[in-house]
Structure 1
Amino acid sequence: MQISTNYSITQDELKGKVVLVTGANRGFGKAMTLDLAKAGATVIMLGRDLGSLEGAYDEVVEAGFVEPILYPLDLEGATPEHYEQLQRDILDNFGQLDGLIHNAGIIGTMMPIEQYDLKLWYSTMQINVNAPFMLTQFLIPALNKSNDARILFLSSSVGRNARAYWGAYGVSKFAIEGLSKTLSEELEKT
């Protein structure tokens, strides 16, 4: 799907919708949170740093937009039990999920594969690939309860065209491209 670069969200366009945004505390995640709340959506702000989540929350509230929900969770250490609890919390509080935006990610470091630190590789893959997979898997039941749900994965050009020294980040973005295309095929009629 292509969205015009001059598209602007309007007030109450998403009124009554519930959207979860990972990495909602800074950068693209915070910008999307502000736009979604301006459009009337209740945004579940997921991030690992409660302090910066609270700062972004304050910006949304001070702007007079729909009050978001803070959900601190470190995707690097999250387990299936954490995702199961998130699913229960969403279904108990909202009955459905209308959108899931996978924005959180880490770049890691730029270096040759042969020198790549194994712990950093694992951490990058956990946050950029495994967490979106598990989060999506556990939240599909909540998304299926919506009449018009969407899942959005943020990627990068290094996920389509390999470049030297992009290491785990580049590989993780190739994986996200594959995951999103596989899901698109599987969920085509939903």
Structure 2
Amino acid sequence: MSESKDRPEGRLEGRIAVITGASRGIGAAVAERFAAEGAQLILIARTVGALEELDDAIRAQGGRQPVLVPHDLRDFDGLDRLGASLHERYGKLDILIGNAGILGPLTPVGHIAPDIWQEVMDVNVTANYRLIRSLDPLLRLSDAGRAVFVTSGASSGLKAYWGPYAVSKAALEALVRTYAAEITKTNVKANLLSPGPIRTMMRAAAFPGEDPKTLRSPGEIAELFVALAEPACARNGEVVEAR
């Protein structure tokens, strides 16, 4: 379906947004909400089929046709090329949503294989550093660049057996807060969002005995992402908790 000409202007009208981990869960819900608010989306995920399904859903609801980028975030050179491609096509970036993440094994720290540890760090931390490195110049070209990264209460490191995930989220928070301190005199704002217990595949893997019906759906927290991504947002360097 083509974009509706009489669709009311949304809070993200015409703003260009990159969303990682966009094919399912929180990423897909945020993508649909951003599209409903008028954003032009660049959706990144590994699963081509799921991206195509999301594309169909967005266009069926009258949203702008998104740009689909099937990509493994561990291909760091590809993230560098992403920045160059976006600059050539749009000349700027308004919104970056760093949502992609993996859980890793829930096991004693001493039992974690080095390659598994590295994979969690690569996806949850290093990929976001590479995204900032690649896309910060484009965010600075926006009149109101906004970056939001998904963290977790596990970052406190108080849960046994959550080593790789907890350490990666603690590192992500330090990374984003450092970045936020560096951009205080620019038009860019960077924050973290901690969703809490949400009905996702990752949550089900971490808590297999939990009844998913007792949890909020990803769509129920999408408004928080809009609030942190819109030009009116004045927050910077904060960890925002979904309540």
State if a TM-score over 0.5 links the two structures.
yes
1:143 partnered with 2:134:
no
Farther-moved stretch of structure 1 (155-164 vs 89-98):
155-164
Which residue of structure 1 aligns with residue 170 of structure 2?
Answer: 174
Aligned equivalents of 2:158, 2:150: Cα separation in 1 = 17
Indicate the SS of the match to 1:43: strand
Aligned equivalents of 1:153, 1:42: Cα separation in 2 = 19
Aligned equivalents of 1:104, 1:79: Cα separation in 2 = 14
- Give matches, 1:1-16, under 5 Å: 11-16=9-14
Aligned equivalents of 1:89, 1:175: Cα separation in 2 = 28
Which residue of structure 2 aligns with residue 108 of structure 1?
Answer: 104
Kept in 1: contact 2:80–2:130 (CA 8 A): no
Measured after TM superposition, the shift of residue 13 of structure 1 is 1.6
State the AA in 1 paired with 2:76.
T
Which residue of structure 1 aligns with residue 239 of structure 2?
Answer: none
Which residue of structure 1 aligns with residue 114 of structure 2?
Answer: 118
Q: Give the TM-score normalised by the residue count of structure 2.
A: 0.71
1:132 partnered with 2:120:
no
Aligned equivalents of 1:88, 1:187: Cα separation in 2 = 21
Measured after TM superposition, the shift of residue 66 of structure 1 is 1.7
Aligned equivalents of 2:132, 2:15: Cα separation in 1 = 18
From 23, 42, 54, give the equivalent of 1:25.
Answer: 23
Kept in 2: contact 1:11–1:38 (CA 8 A): no
Which residue of structure 2 aligns with residue 152 of structure 1?
Answer: 148
Aligned equivalents of 2:143, 2:47: Cα separation in 1 = 32
Which residue of structure 2 aligns with residue 35 of structure 1?
Answer: 33
Q: Give the TM-score normalised by the residue count of structure 1.
A: 0.91
Which residue of structure 2 aligns with residue 57 of structure 1?
Answer: 55
Could you list the per-position Cα deviations for residues 133-180 of structure 1 after superposition, in whole angstroms to 9, with x for gaps in the alignment? 001111011111100001111000011343110021110000011011
Kept in 2: contact 1:96–1:143 (CA 8 A): yes
From 86, 89, 93, give the equivalent of 1:93.
Answer: 89
State the AA in 2 paired with 1:85.
R
Farther-moved stretch of structure 1 (111-120 vs 20-29):
111-120
Superposed CA RMSD: 1.2
Aligned equivalents of 1:117, 1:50: Cα separation in 2 = 29
Aligned equivalents of 2:130, 2:63: Cα separation in 1 = 30
Aligned equivalents of 1:161, 1:118: Cα separation in 2 = 19
Kept in 1: contact 2:73–2:79 (CA 8 A): no
Unaligned runs of 5+ in 1: 1-9
Question: How many equivalent residue pairs?
Answer: 179
Q: Share of identical aligned residues, percent?
A: 36
